[in-house]
Amino acid sequence: MTAQITQRAAGLFAGAIAAGALTLGLSFAPTASAAQDCGYGYHLNGGSCVVNLPGPGAQADPGHPNCWINDNGDQRCY
């Protein structure tokens, strides 16, 4: 009985450590620089950050869900 409780506690402890490491890693991920320092879902346009929305000539980007290619050939994503 004690061995079963010890194994369960060790599993919970390992899971908590893994979740903490994942959270810490994601908090340091460079998400803003990937979107021209504007953040996820935005892009730089004329010195200001604007929301990514498909324009009239936008085409779906195959293999990248929620992304498209605009008239200038730039990939944009929500």
The chain-wide mean pLDDT, for the chain, equals 77
Q: What amino acid is encoded at 68 in this protein?
A: W
So what's the pLDDT on residue 2? 67
The pTM of the full predicted model, rounded to 2 decimals, is 0.40
Please state the rounded mean pLDDT for residues 23-32: 59
Q: Give the residue with greater pLDDT, 9 vs 1.
A: 9
What is the C-alpha separation between 43 and 39, in angstroms, rounded? Answer: 8
Please state the rounded mean pLDDT for residues 31-49: 74
Confidence of residue 34 (pLDDT cuts 50, 70, 90): low
pLDDT in tens, 2-13: 667 788 877 777
Helix (H) or strand (E) holding 75: strand 75-77
